[in-house]
Amino acid sequence: MQPFTYELIKTCKQSGARLGVLHTPHGDIETPCYMPVGTQATVKAMTPRDLRDVGANIILSNTYHLYLRPGHELVREAGGLHAFMGWERPILTDSGGYQVFSLGDSNRILEDGVEFRSHHDGSRHFFTPEKVMEIEQALGADIAMCFDECAPYPSEREYARAAMERTHRWAARCKAAHTRTDQALFGIVQGGAYADLRVESAKTLADMDFIGYGIGGLSVGEPKEVMYDMLETIMPHMPADRPRYLMGVGSPDCLIEGAVRGVDMFDCVLQTRIARNGLALTKYGRRMLRNNEFAHDFAPIEEGCGCYACKNFTRAYIRHLVKAKEILAAQLITTHNLYFSLRLMEEIRQAIRDDRLLDLRREWQERGGME
Amino acid sequence: MQPFTYELIKTCKQSGARLGVLHTPHGDIETPCYMPVGTQATVKAMTPRDLRDVGANIILSNTYHLYLRPGHELVREAGGLHAFMGWERPILTDSGGYQVFSLGDSNRILEDGVEFRSHHDGSRHFFTPEKVMEIEQALGADIAMCFDECAPYPSEREYARAAMERTHRWAARCKAAHTRTDQALFGIVQGGAYADLRVESAKTLADMDFIGYGIGGLSVGEPKEVMYDMLETIMPHMPADRPRYLMGVGSPDCLIEGAVRGVDMFDCVLQTRIARNGLALTKYGRRMLRNNEFAHDFAPIEEGCGCYACKNFTRAYIRHLVKAKEILAAQLITTHNLYFSLRLMEEIRQAIRDDRLLDLRREWQERGGME
């Protein structure tokens, strides 16, 4: 089995963006890459075959959700997450750090870990760095993330510092507890919206020598300009030979702006979530297919798109499916939104190759595709 | 465009069941056949590609639902139902006769037609034979059904007679109003659970020389033995050179028992509806995949099944999807249930070819697959 490595192929002369390859036990992934989210061991409304068809190479799954249901022991018994969900390509699992704060009820942060209640049944649970490593190693993804504390936005400086420092201590404990050699462990940079804390976090984690780095605690309510500032602030302090993963971020504008600032990996539920509400991403901006304007519109979701939905169905038909609450609406719009985002990543990689990523950004801005 | 014809290939020496081919404008269909139901211009949770993969050759869609939403004029504008829903193989539309009674509110039966209220918004509508022909011709399926009155079970003899006679008068009006030469119009035999009425209906409609015949008003609450009796009673009076379609019936036992009695076509929502509740059909009987017994069961839904769901996923995984209310559960179990039923039809056709359909029935009974 090939070890996990990151290969930096080139840097865009126009923007500093990075073209690279992640070599993982389940195959190679060109970066910058977007990871569709399969929260409960399924990317909603997509079969693994559908996922391959839209060009997905790596997906994300959620440790918090899988721990609660069906339980990581069952997934281990099934042969790991790849076998359990029938997905043979790379997988990344998050650590549940974000979810215990955003979904868990009456959580209590202690130095040892976080006590929280299940959002399903109110049962009590306790996540420590060691426990999370046990869970993620049972799930057996190609990439595991350290357990972190994600401070909300806005946070007082002292709170952001305390959360960051705890995140660093937990990162060390995760590293000590992590033993799987066929799984890469990434550290997570925190520090809220404070530039100096972010730099301190990036440096501290770099010294700990992780295989890759997540950038956490962004896109949690702050203005996008703040997120972009934080990225620009920390990038000079991130090891150039390690992949950089901007966690939970992936709208079309953020994919481009993140890549411009040197991000290698993204994940986001936006694509699949808005699809289930009838909202499609296109290079001309978003289209709410439920709207009356599409009732007699026999064009595809996006003109010229090569996805299964666009090659076979019209806006009028998909609008009908949305109005009729048919499952096929979610299937088709999810297919399109994922294909759209994965194709955008291809465009971004080609633009880096051609040293014209800022030109690409301007084209997308002018067309309205970043709205 | 080839005209619509039915070709009787052979009759099973053991049972009298019929092997045949329906030649339609959108392709040939071997009979006996099962038609998956696409009520709202989509077979729930299945793309047309998925439908082809499970072996579907003809599907049914519902006139009542499409008339109300999105409206038959929109479907006509889209180029007909095949183009609208991206399905290039044959389609049959029912007439809405059953739905205006079972779904429409405060319906009122007049000689001219039926007044009913939409189950969506309570709006008033009036279906006459002529109106239904207008709608079905706008939808443009390969096979259209006459507008009929379906008497409930049980019905008084006089009520059943009145409904039957009105169905005959409406059949004549449908025939007069139907003008599309690329669409076959089927009459519908009624008569409730009264053998003499059923015979009278079969003879009357045979005299009207329809291209094919539906058998309506069965599987509406009567014991299955009554349905089988009615089939045996009418079959000698059905023209041998025309296809016989048992409407709304399609559980595994009914597919076999119907074929044994000379039925050529079936449709049923059971396969797709129970799938969305986690219930799978197998040759050993039904399996409720939600059940705890499957929590650690890493076998496929049905041992030896060749469908996409069974080749790639375990009961434990699908149970997890059902419990987690994931759309993929419906996609996978629907895939299996349709594949299962279409494969059963292949087995039935092969048994007719080999003059051993009663043997096949016994094998299915002994294995528990007809429960």
pLDDT in tens, A268-314: 999 999 999 999 999 999 999 999 999 999 999 999 999 999 999 99
Contact B331 A330 (CB under 8 A): no
Does residue B77 contact residue B359 with C-beta atoms inside 8 Å?
Answer: no
Whose tokens are 């008033």? That residue is B124
Check residue B104 and give its pLDDT.
73
Check residue B2 and give its pLDDT.
63
- Report helix, strand or coil for B370: coil
The residue of chain A nearest to residue B71, with distances taken between CA atoms, is A320
Q: Which of A37, A42, A277 to mutate to test the interface with B (most CBs of B within 10 A)?
A: A42
Indicate the burial class of A118 (C-beta count within 10 angstroms; 0-12, 13-18, 19 or more). middle
Task: Name chain B contacts of A324, Cβ cutoff 8 Å.
Answer: 40, 69
Q: Which of B44, B74, B314 sits opposite A327 (nearest CB)?
A: B44
Q: Say if residue A219's pLDDT is above 70.
A: yes
Does residue B176 contact residue B163 with C-beta atoms inside 8 Å?
Answer: no
Check residue B288 and give its pLDDT.
98
Backbone angles phi, psi at B329, to 5 degrees: -60, -50
Query: Rounded to an integer, what distance in angstroms lies between the CA atom of residue B82 and that of residue B92?
Result: 11
Q: Which of B298, B313, B320 sits opposite A70 (nearest CB)?
A: B320
Query: Rounded to an integer, what distance in angstroms lies between the CA atom of residue A253 and that of residue A231?
Result: 14
Contact A78 B316 (CB under 8 A): yes
Interface of A with B in 318-357 (CB under 8 A): 319-321, 323-324, 326-328, 330-332
Bridge partners (DSSP) listed for residue B116: B125
Query: Rounded to an integer, what distance in angstroms lies between the CA atom of residue A118 and that of residue A115?
Result: 10
Per-residue pLDDT of chain B (371 residues; tens, 9 = 90+): 567 999 999 999 999 999 999 999 999 999 999 999 999 999 999 999 999 999 999 999 999 999 999 999 999 999 999 999 999 999 999 999 999 988 877 789 999 999 999 999 999 999 999 999 999 999 999 999 999 999 999 999 999 999 999 999 999 999 999 999 999 999 999 999 999 999 999 999 999 999 999 999 999 999 999 999 999 999 999 999 999 999 999 999 999 999 999 999 999 999 999 999 999 999 999 999 999 999 999 999 999 999 999 999 999 999 999 999 999 999 999 999 999 999 999 999 999 999 999 999 999 999 999 97
Task: Name chain A contacts of B310, Cβ cutoff 8 Å.
Answer: none
Query: Rounded to an integer, what distance in angstroms lies between the CA atom of residue A185 and that of residue A167?
Result: 14
How does residue A1 score in pLDDT terms, banded at 50, 70 and 90?
Answer: low
Q: Which of B77, B298, B320 sits opposite A69 (nearest CB)?
A: B320
Q: Of B204, B75, B61, which is closest to residue B143 (Cα–Cα)?
A: B61
pLDDT in tens, B283-318: 999 999 999 999 999 999 999 999 999 999 999 999
Please state, as a whole number, how many other Cβ atoms lie within 10 Å of the Cβ of residue A240: 12
Does residue B264 contact residue B32 with C-beta atoms inside 8 Å?
Answer: yes
Task: Name chain B contacts of A86, Cβ cutoff 8 Å.
Answer: 312-313, 317
Q: How far apart are the first and last CA of chain B?
A: 42
| Alpha-carbon separation of residue A311 from A306, A325, B84 (angstroms) | 6, 22, 13
The average pLDDT across A159-168 equals: 98
A267 labelled catalytic: yes
Check residue A2 and give its pLDDT.
63
| DSSP calls for A41-107 | SS-TT--HHHHHHHT---EEE-HHHHHHTT-HHHHHHTTSHHHHHT--S-EEE--SHHHHHHTSEEE
A94 labelled catalytic: yes
pLDDT in tens, B63-87: 999 999 999 999 999 999 999 999 9
pLDDT in tens, A177-194: 999 999 999 999 999 999
**Helix extents (H) in chain B:** 48-54, 63-68, 72-77, 81-85, 97-102, 129-139, 157-177, 195-207, 224-234, 252-260, 270-275, 308-312, 315-323, 327-353, 357-367
| Alpha-carbon separation of residue B271 from A237, A265, B12, B281 (angstroms) | 58, 41, 27, 8
The residue of chain A nearest to residue B73, with distances taken between CA atoms, is A296
pLDDT in tens, A319-328: 999 999 999 9
pTM above 0.95, yes or no: yes
Candidates A28, A94, A105, A297; catalytic one: A94
Check residue A107 and give its pLDDT.
87
